[in-house]
Amino acid sequence: MTSTASHNEGRVWFVTGGSRGLGAAIVRTLLDAGERVVATARRREALTTAFGPDNDALLSLSMDVTDAAAVRAAVEAATARFGRIDVLVNNAGYGDLSLFEESTAEDVRAQYDTNVFGLMHVTRAVLPGMRARRAGRIFNVSSVGGIVGGASGTLYCASKFAVEGFTESLAQEVAPFGIHATIVEPGFFRTDFLEATSVKHGSNPIADYAATAAALKGFYDSRSRNQAGDPVRLAQALIVLADAEQPPVRWCAGTDALAMVQSKIDSLQAELNAWRDLSAGTNGDFEFREETGSSAWG
């Protein structure tokens, strides 16, 4: 059950990838709502350009999530400045929308270094403080592509599926300490995610895939800056979720994400039902009979 009560004044948020796109919208919305924010990005100048100089409510820090030492230093600086981190928003990431055979092993590593291992570096650095206080909120920004795969998602969706498995498991590990972890699954939102400054396409073109790759790139290019999702409304929703006594483990954002997740649920249920007997039959003769009352096996 969510709460619409006014949020806790003085709460401290730590936001990665805060200089542009969804991250910048989150930082600006939090500041406008009276929250205190530690905004991080690879280039601190980009943060000061976007939000101005540091003040009582804002601390801007240079931090590359792929650098574990830099992450630890940033978390220490944030704690020294504000005393604690109440809410972590793991937003930093990018999309490699290459077809698998048109990607390289280096592309795969780079995608995971940022989207998965970087997110883990930040979470690992923030958790001890939350655990000591027996309180905290973690929002791991995944994507609807973290639950629904598709062509050109072999790298990006794989990384986001990993984020979802990590977060769903982590939520159970940290719940006894009063820490809640939530997966955020945005659909298409109006950010620079699909711009050349963020997205990456195949670095190893193959003729057999030329038509498919061109069609997919054309689709993404046509969507860029025309997405239905409003980043500010998503940021406002994070405040509502942070106020919730029992926030969800998985939350999708946008009507397109709602439709895609519902379709995935329906598809999973249909597939499970279609192959239920074969699945159950792998238990072995005695166990299968005992659990189902069926004599079909053996």
pLDDT digits (tens, 9 = 90+) for 133-149: 999 999 999 999 999 99
Residue 54 has a pLDDT of 98
Quick one: what percent of the chain has pLDDT higher than 70? 86
Closest listed residue to residue 7, CA positions, set 38, 33, 26: 33
- Cα–Cα dist 280/86, whole Å: 45
Question: Does the annotation count 200 as an active-site position?
Answer: no
Q: Which two tokens stand for residue 147?
A: 């639950």
Tens-digit pLDDT profile for residues 76-131: 999 999 999 999 999 999 999 999 999 999 999 999 999 999 999 999 999 999 99
Tens-digit pLDDT profile for residues 23-41: 999 999 999 999 999 999 9
Mean pLDDT of 42-54: 97
φ, ψ of residue 184 to 5 degrees: the values are -110, 120
- What number of helices (H) and strands (E) belong to the chain? 11, 7
pLDDT of 164 over the 60 cut: yes
The residue with tokens 């655990």 is 131
Of the listed ranges 44-58, 107-121, 224-238, 256-270, the one predicted with least confidence? 224-238
Closest listed residue to residue 142, CA positions, set 276, 257, 282, 246: 257
Mean pLDDT of 47-67: 98
DSSP secondary structure code for residue 14 in this structure? E
Residues 177 and 134 sit within 8 Å (Cβ to Cβ): yes
In the set 94, 160, 209, 220, the catalytic residue is 160
Strand order in 12-15's β-sheet? Answer: 58-62, 36-41, 12-15, 87-90, 136-141, 179-186, 250-253
- 3 pLDDT band (50/70/90 cuts)? very low
For the chain, where do the domains classified as CATH 3.40.50.720 start and end? Answer: 12-253
- 296 pLDDT band (50/70/90 cuts)? very low
Question: Does the annotation count 156 as an active-site position?
Answer: yes
For the chain, what is the radius of gyration of the CA atoms? 21
Number of other residues whose CB lies within 10 A of the CB of residue 139: 24
Beta bridge partners of 57: none
Residues 65 and 116 sit within 8 Å (Cβ to Cβ): no
pLDDT of 289 over the 70 cut: no
User: Is it true that domain 12-253 has CATH number 1.10.645.10?
Assistant: no
- Cα–Cα dist 118/16, whole Å: 10
Select the more confidently predicted residue: 4 or 182.
Answer: 182
Tens-digit pLDDT profile for residues 213-254: 888 888 777 666 566 678 999 999 999 999 999 999 999 999
In the set 19, 60, 142, 143, the catalytic residue is 142
- Note the Cα 56 to chain centre separation in Å: 28
Q: Is residue 278 exposed (0-12), middle (13-18) or buried (19+ Cβ within 10 Å)?
A: exposed
Question: Does the annotation count 264 as an active-site position?
Answer: no
- Cα–Cα dist 83/236, whole Å: 24
In the set 98, 103, 112, 156, the catalytic residue is 156
Closest listed residue to residue 191, CA positions, set 180, 199, 183, 201: 199
- Cα–Cα dist 87/65, whole Å: 17
In DSSP notation, 226-275 reads --SB-HHHHHHHHHHHHH-SS--SEEEESHHHHHHHHHHHHHHHHHHHHT
